[in-house]
Structure 1
Amino acid sequence: MVLSHPPLRLILAAAFGGIALLAALATSLLAGDAASRRVGANQLAMLESTASRFAERLDRDMGARWRDVQIATRLPLMRDPETPPQTRRSILRDLHDTYANYALLAFIAPNGHVVADSRQRWRRAMMPPAGPSCGRRCAARWSRTCTRR
């Protein structure tokens, strides 16, 4: 039995075909990696621009709301302890109407109790009962200023 060797032409064709296949594979891997980096860089740039716009809008809106609060705190009627709650409530209601996204505006006394709010909901729903039955524990539940339990 005679062993026949494949012709040289077939060996060279297979070798060049293998080299071409490896070169094509390497080129496609490099191109895919470059495209992936480019897509990632584009996404980061878009995210950065969106975050920048969002931060600018947030700063502008928060600055406007902070100015509203500063103006309200500088009003003589809001600073005077003798001002009736109805007057404070009307001021808070007017401020509440200037911006539709305000959920509730309230004037809170130094002791932690709500004196007036813009929607007249807080006093009825959330205030602890007044009188001698409401002690330190009850006030702590509502104002969270008490350290003893």
Structure 2
Amino acid sequence: MLPISVTVDGRLETGQVSSRTLLVHWLRDDLDKRGPKIGCDTGNCGACTIRWDGLLVKSCMVLAAQADDTRVETAASLAHDDGSLNDLQACFKEHHGLQCGYCTSGMLMTATDLLESGEEITEHSVRRGLKGNICRCTGYENIVRAVRAAAGHDVEKPHGAAEEVAS
């Protein structure tokens, strides 16, 4: 067993891991971080996407021991300190950018990285930016709308979206 110390979502976490433990398994099984999902264990689906020392990575492709003395951010780090949703999360909710939710944390992490990249946010750039994340439910239309809305673009709400009624 190897001792590790990792700052996860702003909090120092320590533990003991075997040399073969994947970071996604340590995050989920030992730290109860439910954001990163285990979808494929091959780096193809993107459900386990996190930031590792500022770089976007698929945590099923990193050994937990490699994360020793580093910083990891999961989708839980995106919410405000009071627990309220950040703009991107709120746009995912408003534009129905999720269904089953399995891919959502990976999509959120990847979209956050894209939004912070300084790249022009167009439908094409969002689709290209999210290509390493697989969603089996939504067909991506609402996810793309949500990311574009978070970037400040005026996008059409999905058909059937509930409008807020002034009281």
TM-score in terms of structure 2 length: 0.21
* Relative contact order, higher structure (CA 8 A, sep 6+): 2
More strand by share: 2
Structure number with higher helix proportion: 1
TM-score (norm: length of structure 1): 0.23
Higher alpha-carbon Rg: 1
